Chains A and B, each alone.
Chain A
Amino acid sequence: MIHVQQLTKHYADLRRGKLVALDGISFDARPGEIYGLLGPNGAGKTTALRIISTVLRPTGGSVTVAGADVLTQPSQVRRQIGFMSANTGVYDRMTAWEIVEYFGRLHGLDDETLKGRMEHLFQRLQMNEIRDLLGAKMSTGMKQKVSIARALVHDPPVLIFDEATSGLDVLVARALLKTVAELREQGKCVLFSTHIMREAEKLCDRLAIVHRGRILAEGGLDELRDRHDQRDLEELFFQLISQHDEREQALTAAATGDER
């Protein structure tokens, strides 16, 4: 469903010169599974997800979502996805109902389908009491609910969650994770990025550990545990990252040694 091949993204940075945000990552996410991107802050998760949702353009490599290329067929890609992130905002001067309705219409839903979908979503996400509340007056949890409803309104086959639980209290976060798990049951392809081990452990069928724009390890949770002989995901994560950093340091030292 999501096919990422050798994806790279460079930024120009005044201080550091060419900044490599993504350095050739490849993975596949299939329908009916939750694929996790696990990595520390600044690993390149958000960049990757922004490229998949066509908001940014890749520097190299290719990404296809449901068969459409993100670079050359962005509008087809956008039809297939629901995108939600911690920093996707909610319009201040619109009510919850209006916001969800607006995006439903942008997705080309007709009146009847839209009404049905919205009633269903507002019911399921328990949003009926905030139906007529303006965005400016919502709490973070309410806003998050609206964002989920907004991402789900057109019933897309692919869903992308970028650090979706950051800033949420335990109750709301739990509810969100439950919703995501339900989406898997419905056969959606879910891409879920997080830096919280517990979430990844609980939710993801397969995951990729991302660090400094690269994938350090990839596979099913048990597969990873067996391969690296480490049952605890947090330990595993830490081990992989420190190994990588040590290798890098050794390489840099060798390179500077050669120059001398």
Chain B
Amino acid sequence: MTWTNVKLVLHREVRDQLRDRRTLFMIAVLPLLLYPLLGMSMFQVLQFVSEHATRVQVIGAERLPESPKLIEDHQFAASLFSEPSKAKLLEVTLVQAEDDAESSSARTKSGAVAEQARHLVEQGECETVVYFPPDFAERLKAFRDSLADREHESPGAKELAVPSPEIYFNTAKEKSQITHGRVSLVLDRWREAIGRQNLATSHLPESTAKPFKVAEHDVAEEGGHRDAAVWSKLLPFLLLIWALTGAFYPAIDLCAGEKERGTLETLLSSPAERSEIVWGKLLTVMAFSMASAVLNLISMGVTGSFVVGMLSKQIGPPPMLTPLWLLIALVPMSALFSALCLALAAFAKSSKEGQYYLMPLMLVTMPLVILPMAPGVELTLGNSLIPVTGVVLLLRAMLEGNYWHALPFVAPVAGVTLACCLWAIRWAIDQFNSESVLFRESERLDMGLWLRHLLRDRGDTPSPAMALFCGVLILLVQFFMNFALHSSMPQAESFHDLLMLVMISQLVVVLTPALLMTVMLTRSPRQTLLLRRPPLLSLPAAALLAVCLHPVVARFGELVQYLYPVRGEVSEHLSQLLSQAPSVWHLLLLLAVAPAVCEEFAFRGFMLSGLRHIGHKWWAIAISSLFFGILHGVLQQSIVAATVGLVIGYLAVQSGSLFPCMLFHLVHNSLTVLPAAFSSQEFEGFKEALAELAKRVLPAASSPEELVRHPFPEWFVRQTAEGGYAFGWPAVVLGGLLSIGLLAWFRSLPYARTAEETLQDALEHQSAPAAAN
């Protein structure tokens, strides 16, 4: 790959895009217009809310007490507003009440008023209706008098109730809601005034009702921190949305558009290599993605500062260094989004088809961007390892000024982001290398034909697409099976239940799809499932590798648990069920033999064989391991399983046989199960026999029983309180070194390459002399 060509492609594409009116409109003009327009409409809405007068009808105003005044001059009393001029915002109409104390019964009276009020609000004759019941003033006066007479009467005197005034409003209408807010504030103030008068009549100080005030202190410094907190949630979100949209449209034009116009074939037959073309296009898309994000933020910032400045002084400007941090975060995010968009766009046959891919891309990205906005999601090591989310959280910490807190997470976030970027770019390049993608022709969608084609034109081993389908199918079946089992059997109650669950999930969910697909979609099940005789030494080597790797995996598992702590109840319940196992053999069958057979058939058999047609064995291993990991359900287990899956996948490729994989899996799982089982009764006899043996072989040993029970020194391996084993660092290091040795031995085995892998090798070697020319 030479940068001259990348630069040439980049230069051309940028110029091309800048000459395209649609792109310029999306990236430059739209943001410049959008925010001022949005700002203006928001401004108007707010102005309406604060300035527009609304109508209130007061029924029964004649029943109000003389003092304090609620209504003066056909308006609510000005003293009841924070600013007396605001009294004008409520236009009051006084209505004579039609109900009389003497008329019919109380129930029908209030029913009639409610009907009248509802009618008024619904017809839009006014926004809110306030109703004062008959005798309101009299009963209030009676209540006050009773307060004044209190000193003379006994304390047990009956309380006189004052009837409630009523407010009718309609939450479905915004205007009515606003009016209700204003009216109820006025009534509250008025009631307080009455309260104060009451206290005065009772000769009590005003402080009786409110004996003290609660003093509030916000420790956020002078608004600065509070503003930072607001901005730090809002800005990263907007930044990423615009980076994604800004990347999408140019990407479609650069790939699908070029296919449509027929220029792609020309470009492909030029000396520019596929990777150079992709890099050139990628940098172009990235430039537009970043430009779009930056322009949007600037435009929004300018409009926002006007609108916010006019309306309220509550939110200050974002912190000084904000633009710097946003720019730094923008680079990797734009790169990632650009590469993703490019790969999707390369797949699309036409611009129209390309547009369809925006939605799925958004659906995948949005949760990752929104997750950090959820309350309580903070920058931790675990969160920092989630793509996109990690960057957003880190950016937030930087905006809030928590530099020291953020510093340790820079490395993991950068690592994950870089890995994702490389993966996405690789994917984009692969799309450009695949002629079925570049020269895709539209065919009539016909399921029957397609299925017949699958059966008729099947190869010896499955295609990568079939392998991926198998993986997805297994996960889907597992998901629905879990649902079904959960509804019929909410929780496994006994070991028998557990046995059933595991066997069903292994046989039905994992093994059956893989075997069915093998039989139906491939010509050579033996080759697909790697049912070949392995190199002789590879079996013991695989078993030994499992043993040596065990301490390393155990330590790794602890690390994962430390990063993403597990809820205790689940694992406790599980170990309780396991302890009910009738014998160790049941346990082994359940947790070691069944997974070793079923999962290996599915993941290292069908899936890996199919994925190897991609042409890169490590990609094949990694993808099959990923699915293997996801199958394990719980995140913590998934991470460990996916890592172990990498090792097993490597064994499968190097030995060309499934048997070493099964053996490794069996030994590996047994080692995790056995320690707990080993302390059970069944092994007493075995242990005694061992002790006997030790006595003979090592007569010098002080206590053979002790030797059998604790064959290793404490610093190497020690028993934990839960009955398991914990490995010391020496064991981990020793195991690791031995494992590396064994893996090196596997590496030395000659392995059978697929045609695609041979071709990729050849292609990688041709570029070197070509570049020298």
Contacts and interface: CB of A to CB of B under 8 A. Distances in A.
Interface stretch (A104-112, A229-237, A241-249): A104-112
B443 A14 contact: yes
B770 A73 contact: yes
Interface in B750-767: 759, 762-763, 765-767
A72 to B, nearest CB: 4
Nearest to B449: A14
Contacts of A85: 265
Contacts of B564: none
Nearest to A89: B262
24 contacts: A14-B443, A15-B449, A17-B453, A18-B457, A55-B265, A55-B268, A57-B435, A75-B271, A75-B766, A75-B767, A76-B766, A76-B769, A79-B271, A83-B269, A85-B265, A87-B265, A89-B263, A89-B265, A90-B263, A91-B263, A92-B261, A93-B15, A94-B15, A107-B271
B759 A78 contact: no
B12 interface: yes
B270 A74 contact: no
Contacts, number: 97
Contacts of B762: 71-72
Interface string A112-151: 0000000000000000000000000000000000010010
A91 B16 contact: yes
A56 B770 contact: no
B450 interface: yes
Interface centre among A103, A106, A107 (most CB of B within 10 A): A106
Contacts of A14: 443, 446, 449-450, 453
B20 interface: yes
B5 interface: yes
Contacts of B449: 14-15
A168 to B, nearest CB: 16
B494 interface: no
B697 to A, nearest CB: 61
B741 to A, nearest CB: 35
Nearest to A103: B270
B456 interface: yes
Interface of A: 12-15, 17-18, 50, 53-57, 71-76, 78-79, 81, 83, 85, 87-94, 102-103, 105-108, 147, 150
Given A72-B765, A102-B8, A107-B271, 6 more contacts: A14-B446, A72-B762, A73-B766, A75-B271, A75-B767, A103-B270
Nearest to B443: A14
Given A88-B266, A106-B271, A74 B766 contact: yes
B19 A53 contact: no
Nearest to A10: B457
A57 B4 CA distance: 26
Given A71-B759, A88-B262, A102-B12, A53 B269 contact: yes
A78 B773 CA distance: 13
A106 B270 contact: yes
B453 A74 contact: no
B423 to A, nearest CB: 24
B457 A72 contact: no
B12 A94 contact: yes
B296 to A, nearest CB: 25
Nearest to B445: A14
Nearest to B765: A72
B272 interface: yes
A1 B40 CA distance: 70
B265 A88 contact: yes
B270 to A, nearest CB: 5
B439 interface: yes
Contacts of B439: 56
Nearest to B273: A75
A220 to B, nearest CB: 29
Contacts of A83: 266, 269
Contact of A106 (B5, B262, B263, B265): B5
B16 A94 contact: yes
A56 B262 contact: no
A93 B253 CA distance: 12
Contacts of B766: 72-76
| Shortest 5 CB-CB contacts between residues of A and residues of B | A89-B262, A72-B762, A83-B269, A93-B19, A89-B263
Contacts of B773: 76, 79
Contacts of A13: 453
Given A15-B449, A56-B435, A106-B8, A89 B271 contact: no
Nearest to A72: B762
Contacts of A53: 269
Interface string B256-282: 000001110110111111000000000
Interface string B301-321: 000000000000000000000
A94 B12 CA distance: 9
B308 to A, nearest CB: 40
Contacts of A88: 262-263, 265-266
B453 A55 contact: no
Contacts of A76: 766, 769-770, 773
A87 B269 CA distance: 13
B16 A54 contact: no
Contacts of B262: 87-89
A76 B769 CA distance: 9
Interface centre among B269, B270, B449 (most CB of A within 10 A): B269
Given A71-B759, A74-B766, A76-B773, A17 B457 contact: yes
A78 B450 CA distance: 36
